[in-house]
Amino acid sequence: MVSMISAGEKIFSADQVRGLDRRAIDEFGIPGYTLMCRAGQALLEAVVDHFPKVRSLLVICGAGNNAGDGYVMARLARRSGYRVKVITLSDPVLLKGDAREAYDDWQKDGGRVQGWSAEALDQCDLVVDAILGTGLERPLEGLFREVVEAINAGSRPVLAADIPTGLNANTGSVMGVAVQADMTVTFVGRKVGFHLGNGADCVGRYLFADLQVPKKVLEDSSFIARLISPDLRRQVLPPRQRTAHKGDNGRVLVIGGGPGMPGAVCLAGEAALRSGAGLVTVATLPEHVPVVLSGRPELMCLGVRKDKDLQAALDKADVVVAGPGLGQDEWSQQMYNAALASGLPLVLDADALNLLAKQPVRRSHWVLTPHPGEAARLLGTSGVIVQNDRLAAVQRIAESYGGVAVLKGAGTLVSQAGEHPWICDRGNPGMAAPGMGDVLAGVIAGLAAQCKDLDAAARLGVLAHACAGDLAAVRGERGLLARDLMMPLRKWLNGLVKMDDRNERD
């Protein structure tokens, strides 16, 4: 399925965002200081809209344009009636260009600055981090590190300007230490580091302000990744014909459930049904058949001992899920080999991925859904290395194994070889629970059975799974179970709930 990439879906590296700034200034004649003033205004609007009880601000300014954003915001907030105190960590007379103009205007307006004092953190309602921006290339040290550590140890909420100080805009890694903001207002282009590594822990809730940069700037510029858009739901799942029957909506076969693990195939099978697949069969050990049918009688269940027992079910299937609870013994290997030999579109998860890592093969019509540990085994590396550069890892998996790679975790990534990866910016830490991966595999297979497009099914499946998790977490993230996603999943896929706002992220 081919879809146009809108400007709002693009995600950029730090250098690419700087290029967007430069194009807005050079090609469209928008003065840099005008952009800075719009950034300051966006910060102030965030305070007004999201921190309504705040009356006093502590704006901490460092160096460069990030400090300039802080000085503008301080001036505008002071004019709006807020009590504002500005702390500078770098001699403002050393500022240049737009940042120096912002400081000069702050002074002309009667504003003053003072040096660092940890006590000031307790004398405000809100801390504004305008210390360092996206240009940080080495770990924080000295005064800057001391201040960031004090901010994190304090009790006041924190609003970050463009990016939390200390967060790498490209990798999401923490440069020694990073501000843990409650909210970040980011400007001009969404930064990829927000969705990788420790980005989500540092950014908090984030707002995107385009600063009125013409859309053409974003549309014509290179980018590093793309956000999965909720619009995909309407593209992949058009309204059904009134005369449709269950055979029209695809047949899914789920293979797995080794000794002691029937729950995984139950979850995957039910998820495929809740995603709209017409018929779902679970193939598992014979002793697990009563467990599967008692848990979800709408599933068909087949007890299998040998690979030949699978053939009739494979002959009827449109898509196969292999791996949930599969294990890695002789029975598991037979089931896995039969799935590969079928030539059908596959969704591989869990132990199927571990078996693949032992005997790598490449195919074009499958979806691989590893978590970081499984990804590390597929790539012959460590989970730490995978997490340190998730974009590179998912692209390497797609290039090495073919098909569509889905790297699970905070900011799940979807990639095909030679294409920009997709990022899911939904989901929550409550989803770090047993069985969530089994549900995702079933969702992707159920969608693939309907739309016959593995790439689109993978992207929509990842987004639907994450949004269902967010809906299920309304009652709390702690204690969230995989089965809790089933009804929210059905609601979201049917468009009964709206979670399409791209300007704000929780």
Please tell me whether residue 381 adopts helix, strand or coil conformation: coil
Structural domain tally of the chain? 2
% of the chain residues with pLDDT over 70 = 97
* Residue 8: per-residue pLDDT: 64
Structure tokens at 96: 């240049």
In this structure, the answer to whether residues 390 and 419 fall within a common structural domain is yes
Within-domain flag for 488? yes
Instruction: Give the least confident one: 26-35, 235-244, 388-397.
Output: 235-244
Give every strand in the sheet of 158-161, ordered side by side: 113-114, 83-88, 56-61, 126-130, 158-161, 183-187, 205-209, 504-505
Is the pTM higher than 0.85? The answer reads yes
Within-domain flag for 1? no
Within-domain flag for 472? yes
* Residue 502: per-residue pLDDT: 44
Within-domain flag for 2? no
* Residue 245: per-residue pLDDT: 83
Average pLDDT over residues 266-294: 96
In this structure, the answer to whether residues 210 and 245 fall within a common structural domain is no
In this structure, the answer to whether residues 235 and 215 fall within a common structural domain is no
Within-domain flag for 506? no
In this structure, the answer to whether residues 286 and 212 fall within a common structural domain is no
Helices (runs of H) and strands (runs of E) counted in the chain: 19, 20
Rounded-to-integer distance, Cα 277 and Cα 477, Å: 28
In this structure, the answer to whether residues 329 and 378 fall within a common structural domain is yes
Q: Backbone dihedral region of 478: left (phi > 0), alpha (psi from -120 to 50 degrees) or beta?
A: beta
In this structure, the answer to whether residues 270 and 218 fall within a common structural domain is no
In this structure, the answer to whether residues 278 and 385 fall within a common structural domain is yes
- Three-class secondary structure assignment of 118-154: HHHHHHCCEEEEECCCCCCCCCCCHHHHHHHHHHHHC
- Structure-token match 């003053």, residue found: 112
In this structure, the answer to whether residues 213 and 285 fall within a common structural domain is no
CATH of the domain at 436: 3.40.1190.20
What type of residue is 215?
K
Structure tokens at 87: 């702390």
Confidence of residue 3 (pLDDT cuts 50, 70, 90): very low
133 bridge partner residues: none
* Residue 189: per-residue pLDDT: 94
In this structure, the answer to whether residues 217 and 255 fall within a common structural domain is no
Boundary of a domain, candidates 206, 224, 242: 224
In this structure, the answer to whether residues 454 and 352 fall within a common structural domain is yes
Residue 334: pLDDT over 60: yes
- Compute the mean pLDDT over every residue in the chain, rounded to the nearest whole number: 94
Rounded-to-integer distance, Cα 349 and Cα 212, Å: 43
CATH of the domain at 160: 3.40.50.10260
- Structure-token match 């981090």, residue found: 129
In this structure, the answer to whether residues 418 and 471 fall within a common structural domain is yes
* Residue 506: per-residue pLDDT: 43
Within-domain flag for 142? yes
Cα dihedral: 373, 267, 456, 450 (round 10): 150
Boundary of a domain, candidates 224, 254, 277: 224
Which pLDDT tens digit goes with each residue over 148-186? 999 999 999 999 999 999 999 999 999 999 999 999 999
Within-domain flag for 503? no
In this structure, the answer to whether residues 163 and 267 fall within a common structural domain is no
Query: Are 127 and 58 spatial neighbours (Cβ–Cβ below 8 Å)?
Result: yes
Average pLDDT over residues 310-330: 97
Query: Are 446 and 276 spatial neighbours (Cβ–Cβ below 8 Å)?
Result: yes
Domain that holds residue 457: 231-497
Cα dihedral: 406, 408, 411, 413 (round 10): -10
Residue 503: pLDDT over 60: no
Within-domain flag for 66? yes
Residue 369: pLDDT over 60: yes
Task: Give the residue, 498 or 138, on which the prediction is more confident.
Answer: 138
Boundary of a domain, candidates 193, 224, 255: 224
